[in-house]
Homo-oligomer: A and B are copies of this chain.
């Protein structure tokens, strides 16, 4: 949790900085309080442990009792967690905890909608690197909770040969050859293709995954047929919750959706302080 602790600590420093002056001025010291996190709309819960950790880092003595675990389907009004501790600390942790939790629930909930749309097909919904700078690990976790799968974590943990790489190398075959010689045997190699000719060339190069980039449905179907299971097939480009089902029906294995992380809206969750 060291990496996640650093994210949370930075978020707390960003918000509290030299002090929560309102609380310092107004709230008596050592005033005990209880609080509840409440879902104000239906959603998929994601990030409950992260929210709990925010309170723990503000004050180790806060008691955070989650009523649900990640992946739970919440409806408006559900109490997500009960929190007890010093009132000042609860107020200081509130916004950071909510900012993280609402964002993670937003991503999980949006992912679940895409996931739902491809039910019954063999296609997986996968994320992209279009994540919020600094929060990728949390956002990719939320995608998993929403029923999606993760694409590579960054530029370092899988090979994805795109149009620009192909151009720079002088063709798919030579690019794949160079990649295979260079990278660890543990790394898979994916190639982005825009035409059936490129698909064929990638297939001949023996790649592990072929990305069909911005192809129309008919071309995708022909690509899937051409590949014939000899590599994984990923559809990519401008996928929406309206179009994902017919894309899935082409037989692709994976459909990557940037919107999961770059355009999810925050879920409505609030903290209610009581005695």
Interface residues of A (CB under 8 A from B): 2-3, 7-28, 31, 33, 57, 87, 91-92, 95-96, 98-100, 102-103, 106, 124, 126, 129-137, 140, 144, 149-165, 167-169, 175, 178-179, 181-188, 190, 209, 232, 234, 253-254, 258-259, 262-263, 265-266, 273
Whole-angstrom distance from the CB of A89 to the nearest CB of chain B?
10
Whole-angstrom distance from the CB of A44 to the nearest CB of chain B?
16
For the complex, what is the distance from the CA of A175 to the CA of B27, rounded to whole Å? 8
Which one, B23, B99, B159, B259, contacts A133 given CB within 8 A? B99
For the complex, what is the distance from the CA of A92 to the CA of B154, rounded to whole Å? 11
The 8 closest A-B pairs by CB, nearest first: A263-B265, A11-B133, A25-B182, A158-B186, A262-B266, A20-B155, A157-B157, A17-B156
Q: Are A186 and B190 in contact (CB under 8 A)?
A: yes
Work out how many copies of this chain go into the complex: 6
Chain B residues with Cβ below 8 Å from A175 are 26
Q: Are A169 and B27 in contact (CB under 8 A)?
A: yes
Q: What residue in chain B is nearest A190 (Cβ atoms)?
A: B186
Which one, B2, B87, B149, B185, contacts A164 given CB within 8 A? B87
Q: What residue in chain B is nearest A150 (Cβ atoms)?
A: B184
Q: Are B185 and A232 in contact (CB under 8 A)?
A: yes
Q: Are A134 and B10 in contact (CB under 8 A)?
A: yes
Q: Are B262 and A168 in contact (CB under 8 A)?
A: no
- Assess A3 versus B17: contact at CB under 8 Å? Given A186-B151, A263-B266: yes
Q: Are A168 and B16 in contact (CB under 8 A)?
A: no
Chain B residues with Cβ below 8 Å from A14 are 133-134, 136, 154
Q: What residue in chain B is nearest A140 (Cβ atoms)?
A: B18
Which one, B96, B234, B262, contacts A103 given CB within 8 A? B262
Q: What residue in chain B is nearest A263 (Cβ atoms)?
A: B265
For the complex, what is the distance from the CA of A154 to the CA of B186, rounded to whole Å? 11
Which one, B168, B178, B262, contacts A265 given CB within 8 A? B262
Q: Are B132 and A21 in contact (CB under 8 A)?
A: no
